[in-house]
Amino acid sequence: MRTAARACLLAPLSALALALPLQAAPLTLHLRSEVLLPGPRIVLSELVEIEAEQPRLRQALADLPMGRAPLVGQVARRSRGELETMVRSQALSAGLRIEWSGARSVDIRTAGQTIGAARLTALAAEYLRQRFGADYAALELLPAGVLPDLAAPAGGRLELKVRPLEGLQLRPRTVVWVDVLQDGVVYRSAAVALEVSARRRVWVAEQDLAAGSMLRQGDFRERELELAGLPAQPAAQDVLQRGGRLRTALRKGEVLERQSLAAPGLVLRGDRVALVATGQGIRVETQAYALGDAAPGQALKVMPEQSREAVQARVLEAGLVIVDGK
């Protein structure tokens, strides 16, 4: 991929080299001893003073890419020999007489700006409020530990973007990653740790409930719990209005979680289902019991009521499975 990108970068320079008239006199590149760059990328004119008779040639050399600048606060040293090799590797320099003068090496630094820790923390906290605020009766966010300021290049277009959290989990200590982008490219990132204090209204079982039980208002009561006492993903507040079934058993006092809910159409182990067998124009229907869990379209073994031998079937919908004829 790097080779392809380099080829795309050099293609216009190669075309320009063919369009330039033949060089009459040698050109001189005078290497500076130190430079302070505005952005994350280096071009030749930032490292050397170019003396050339032809304006187009001088401009083409000035724009030659010379790699990435060091991070803000760091120093990169490039020798004259190293730079000469890089220039000679460019298609544009083919056939040119280049004389070097000046320093034997150049120290490269990047001009910087500071992104304050308070700004990063505020951005991370605002993201959490927008993402989770509606789910909690109260949500308080405080910095967890000391976050250092970040340094970024002074030039170019600077952006701060929060990485979306995976899943729906909010914990007492939550880490939010903030990326610093320079001209659309990630320059560096910061892990912002926040202490989270929150209360949320949840549904709690009033009695022991078996797997497969229908969700009924009378079997649950609403409570407000601290975040530290909550499961990873409590069920939504309107879950009892929408109805459904439990996929797993629930003991008295336990919080109703998303993972405890059966998906629509799911057949659970022990369910009594209609078993339909078809073949050669004949359709036979009987009752059977599911020997496992399966969603519509999935295979499921069932035990017919009038048989001691399990049958491989396929779930069509909740309460209905089929044995396809051959």
Over residues 10-58, the pLDDT tens digits come to 444 444 444 444 444 578 999 999 999 988 889 999 999 999 888 999 9
If one looks up domain 272-323 in CATH, what number appears? 2.30.30.760
d(CA 253, CA 208): 8
Let me know: does 209 contact 152? Beta carbons within 8 Å.
no
Kindly tell me if the per-residue pLDDT of 128 is higher than 80: yes
Cα–Cα distances in angstroms (integers) from residue 61 to residues 33, 79, 83, 89, 152, in the given order: 19, 18, 13, 13, 28
pLDDT at 25: 59
> What beta strand segments (E) does the chain contain?
27-31, 34-37, 41-43, 48-51, 65-68, 76-79, 98-102, 105-110, 112-115, 138-143, 150-153, 158-162, 173-182, 185-205, 220-226, 272-279, 282-290, 299-304, 311-317, 320-323
- The predicted pLDDT at position 6 comes to 45
Count of Cβ atoms closer than 10 Å to residue 46 Cβ: 18
CATH code for the domain defined by 2-110: 2.60.480.10
Predicted confidence at residue 227, as pLDDT, reads 74
Q: Answer whether residue 104 shows pLDDT above 60.
A: yes
Angstrom distance (rounded) from CA 217 to CA 307: 38
Share above pLDDT 90 across residues of the chain, in percent, rounded to a whole number = 54
Contact 170, 125 (CB under 8 A): no
Domain 199-260 has CATH 3.90.1210: yes
- What pTM was computed for the model? 0.59
